[in-house]
Chains A and B, each alone.
Chain A
Amino acid sequence: MEGPPEVLLKFLGVAAAVEGAVSTDLAVLGGTIAVLLGEENSVAGELAACAAGIRSPREGKVLVGRRMLEASTKEGRRASGFVAHTVEAPPGMTPRGCVNLAVTAVVKNRNSATEKTREILEWLDLQTVANVPLEELNSPEIQRTSMAVCMATSPELLVVDSPIHESLHSRLKTFARAGNAVLIRTSSLGEIPEGVERIALCDSSGIVRVVSRSELRGRAMGGAEISVSFCPSLPRQQLETIPGIKNLLHRNGLYKFTHGETAFAVTQLMNLARANSRAVIELHISSMPPSALIRLFEGDRGRTFHEGLFTGEDGP
């Protein structure tokens, strides 16, 4: 019988390098995909960098892998990988060259190294571009090459920077299903791939709330951030009459707001334009920004995190 899933990533009392930072305790189980969702100025990026061993936390500990090694140590770094949008490599290097170099540094036997390189390239569908210089690859291929280089050390945790190309979604799921963990850092709800179990909402001071995907969907209820501009411009008071409008901003004739019901908000905008003899010249609808999502959970801050996923110093 299979045992319970192991914790493969733990943040213990980690605090961001900002004033008023909140101490963060977070654990990610093997076999799962978790997300750090936060804007550019949030701690999400810093926590992801700490998990990947690229940075050490100012306070607290980040432990990775089955052996719970400190992420920024040599051994800890071997247990994790960081999938980015770029692959830093010497000029002219190819995906095969990059992967083979990383593999030969881990696997000493030449034949085994060649075989492992071939398997990784095949799994990530990189055979056709294996000998093409990185400078000539497109962005999905670069992201797959980045993952291929990570796979050389057979990591137990992958930290992935979004946006994630679709071709990687199934690979990340397969990787997680094999008992490993995936941590995705993203700044947009729309970039979260299917199969994600838990989402940690981050602001500049720390993790505000951890929610399941379905819980977040339920709260957001098809909500979106809407940008609209009219010709001639419409007074702000007119937009404030739309029921349920939130976070209304006005800059250079462009209105930006969030609304829980996208279809209703768009209908109201069109009615307003018609009633005031205005034309809608610009309309953008994007998923709710993390700050707006956090506001949906306001008042919940400090509540106990989900059992089993988030732990304190004493373990799960």
Chain B
Amino acid sequence: MKALLLTAEIMVKRSVGSIWLLWLCGFLPAAVAAVSPVDTLPGKLVSLAVCLPGVFLLTGWHGSRARTGLMAILFRTEGAGTVRFSELLLPTLSGTILGAMAGMAASFPPTWQFWLVLPLSAFAVSALIDSAERRYRYPGRFLLGLLWLHGASESGGGSLLAPFLYPGKVLMPGEAAPHPDSFVLASLALAGVSAGIYSLSCRR
């Protein structure tokens, strides 16, 4: 438990102490708001609320002195697994909470699909960011950013390819978007795939 809480505390401290991460997380919503049509804006902001904690907490985390130090201290104990669990749990939880608040603000009451898609998407997003950071760092960030932009610019079936946008799409489906139920199925599948990618990235 101590390792879990300490990891969370250190992750938050590190991110808050990073000026460029704070700028990035302020810039992203502003940029989305500036370029999005008014009718799709709430959905995109909800999706962004789910992704932002992951981006904020996990960007640069794997190469940081804080993580290296924690893992070095806990190298010979069970605690190393707790650190890995914590770095996945914290962005998932905070993404879920932030996404729920944004979702309720955007459309009240949110649909039942939203409540299912939200935690699954938050988990998938955190696992994907974590895996990309662990294995590919800069190319990983770039690819995930491209995927987000691709999804944000797509309407219709193509949006199923962008897991980062599921919560927003469920809330604000738009004209040619798939039925919200398909997002529930897709997010279930995606959570499984992300978990697989995550465990592979841990093992390698």
Contact = CB atoms under 8 A, between A and B. Distances in A.
Contacts of A77: 75-76
A78 B80 CA distance: 12
Contacts, number: 62
Interface residues of A, number: 23
B73 A102 contact: yes
Interface stretch (A25-33, A88-96, A222-230, A271-279): A88-96
Interface string B54-73: 00000000000111111011
Given A104-B3, A105-B82, A152 B77 contact: yes
Contacts of A106: 77-78
The range of chain B's interface size is: 20 to 34
Contacts of B72: 87-89
Contact of B2 (A80, A81, A87, A104): A104
A105 B3 contact: yes
A104 B6 CA distance: 12
B10 interface: yes
Interface in B1-18: 1-3, 6, 10
A83 interface: no
B77 A78 contact: yes
Nearest to B3: A105
Interface string B77-101: 1110010000000000000000000
Nearest to B72: A88
B21 interface: no
A153 B74 CA distance: 10
Interface string A145-173: 00001101101000000000000000000
Interface of B: 1-3, 6, 10, 65-70, 72-79, 82
9 A-B pairs with the lowest CB-CB distances in the bound complex, closest first = A105-B79, A88-B72, A105-B77, A89-B69, A90-B66, A104-B2, A90-B69, A77-B76, A88-B69
Interface of A: 53, 77-78, 80-81, 87-91, 93, 98, 100-102, 104-106, 149-150, 152-153, 155
